[in-house]
Amino acid sequence: MEPKVYSLSEHQIAPDQIDTHAFYVIQKLKEAGHKAYLVGGGVRDLLLQQKPKDFDVSTSAKPEEIRGIFRNAILIGRRFRLAHVRFGRKVIEVSTFRSGDTETADLIVRDNEWGTEEQDVLRRDFTINGLFYDPESQEIIDYVDGYLDLEKRLLRTIGQPEARFIQDPVRMIRLIKFCARFQFEIDAPTFQALLNCKGDILNSSSARVFEELLRMLESGASRPFFHLLQEYGLLQPLLPNLAEALQEKEIAEPTFRLLEETDAEMKKQLGQPLDRALLLSVLLFPLFEIIIQHKSSRQPLHLGQIAELSHQLLDEVFSPFFQLPRRMRAILSLILTAQFRILPLESRGQKKLRAPLDPIFSMALHLFKWRAAVQPELLPTYTDWTEAMYQGAESPAPLPPRRRRRRRRRS
Ligand code: ATP
Ligand code: MG
């Protein structure tokens, strides 16, 4: 198939927007006699005049050949083998053209069949992610009408949508991610396939899905993402307890408002990620608060009981599909429990606040800050605690405990 080719005068991607390291990698591969292009999200974002998160390179060179060309390359991945070319902390991902069986509706377990550049495009997920850019000729090479779809702001799978979702159900999560991030429309057959295949999401690797959820919490578009995930029925198979809770207005409203607050903050400080446990706590706190209020209606719970209930909630919400990493589970539980230390269930009168100077308590206070933005009546409590933290930080560090002098036994 002949691709459509768009020149600089049409696409207007200024050459200086291309990452210099990606450009260098492409040049070196070409000098060694291979084909190489910029591909995927980087090209898409440049055309949308957004700053790309990363630049990926697609090439005819095989992984071993790539490693032969770049001393700073390492090969990674089994399911999807590719090279990471490192420049300090920056990594350019270089993958070999692959052919995928794009029509058969079987779950893909490995994806390491080498192919032509056209085959490489056809195994990609959405048309807007299937564009090549050649930095030398400054041309966009389009086998799938992705350029026109970008102009139409349309999300469409490459190939038959149902087959593509069954092959790799994580693509459904990616569809919703792009929908939330760019506010694009979903092409009707792709949307129908999403509705038909949503239950298949449980056939995918839970680690990959979990990673996509966490990335979306970091993206600045988590509110529309989780909203769409719920609306299109994908949250239900993944996190059934949370999906059920979000049907209640009194839980849904504060949850989505809290997500809005985190999105606003993430957009401001892009590049400075917050702890992922803190971001997850946003998703769970309104549900947890209702549980605690309910359980403490007769007699207020103490912090030990609250901590126990937080563990119970985490087990119930994430199982059976996800396995919460142990460290994350522990921090999440502490953040959720500390909300009731910051604002106790029962007012204890004027007591001097003592804020521990540990990073997890800071995270708990960070969540409380978002809660106070949603519920302004919490603001004075938030101010009191930040002052207490500040004073704690100023006071000199406590001296190490003095060694007790052993008394000489009198003989
Ligand atoms: P982001 O901006 O979030 O990084 P992205 O589209 O660049 O979005 P990556 O995970 O970096 O996402 O993937 C790079 C490219 O690899 C995609 O643009 C797409 O062409 C292809 N790709 C990624 N995941 C899949 C998948 N599950 N199935 C098919 N192709 C995929
Ligand atoms: Mg990317």
- Ligand 1: which residues within 6 Å by Cβ? 40-41, 53-54, 56, 124-125, 129, 168, 170-171
Rounded distance between C-alpha atoms, residue 257 and residue 164, angstroms: 34
Ligand nearest to the CA of 54: 2
Q: Which residue's CA is the closest to the ligand 1 atom numbered 5?
A: 41
Average pLDDT value for residue range 242-270: 94
Give Dmax (Cα) for the chain: 103
The predicted structure's pLDDT at residue 199 = 95
Given the residues 19, 111, 120, 125, the one annotated as active site: 125
The predicted structure's pLDDT at residue 109 = 64
> Is pLDDT of 236 > 90?
yes
Contact 90, 111 (CB under 8 A): no
Given the residues 54, 111, 134, 275, the one annotated as active site: 54
Q: Could you tell me if residue 159 is left (phi over 0), alpha (psi between -120 and 50 degrees) or otherwise beta?
A: left
Ligand 1 pocket test, pick from 39, 56, 213, 266 with the greatest ligand atom count within 8 Å of Cβ, gives 56
Rounded distance between C-alpha atoms, residue 232 and residue 317, angstroms: 19
Phi, psi of 220 (to 5 degrees): 85, 0
Average pLDDT of every residue of the chain: 91
The first and second tokens of residue 87, run together, are: 């420049």
274-294: b (≥16 Cβ within 10 Å) or e:
bbbbbbbbbbbbbbbbebbee
Please tell me the total number of residues recorded for the chain in this structure.
411
The predicted structure's pLDDT at residue 380 = 95
The predicted structure's pLDDT at residue 346 = 80
The predicted structure's pLDDT at residue 411 = 40
pLDDT band at 268 (very low <50, low <70, confident <90, very high): confident
Domains of the chain: 1-152 (3.30.460.10)
Q: Could you tell me if residue 183 is left (phi over 0), alpha (psi between -120 and 50 degrees) or otherwise beta?
A: left
Ligand nearest to the CA of 55: 2
Q: Which residue's CA is the closest to the ligand 1 atom numbered 12?
A: 41
Q: How many CB atoms lie under 10 A from the CB of residue 250?
A: 11
Contact 130, 140 (CB under 8 A): no
Q: How far is the CA of 3 from the centre of ligand 1 (A)?
A: 21
pLDDT digits (tens, 9 = 90+) for 305-337: 999 999 999 999 999 999 999 999 999 999 999
Task: Name the DSSP letter for residue 353.
Answer: -
Contact 168, 204 (CB under 8 A): yes
Would residue 56 show up in a list of annotated catalytic residues for this protein?
yes
Rounded distance between C-alpha atoms, residue 407 and residue 227, angstroms: 68
Contact 114, 96 (CB under 8 A): yes
Average pLDDT value for residue range 192-206: 96
Q: Which residue's CA is the closest to the ligand 1 atom numbered 25?
A: 125
Strand 82-87, strand 73-76: pairing: antiparallel
The first and second tokens of residue 53, run together, are: 């998160």
pLDDT digits (tens, 9 = 90+) for 44-82: 999 999 989 889 999 999 999 999 999 999 999 987 889
What percentage of the chain reaches a pLDDT higher than 90? 80
Higher pLDDT, 358 or 405: 358
Which range (171-185, 235-249, 265-279) has the least confidence?
Answer: 265-279
The first and second tokens of residue 291, run together, are: 């549980």
Would residue 54 show up in a list of annotated catalytic residues for this protein?
yes
Given the residues 45, 56, 149, 263, the one annotated as active site: 56
The first and second tokens of residue 308, run together, are: 């126990």
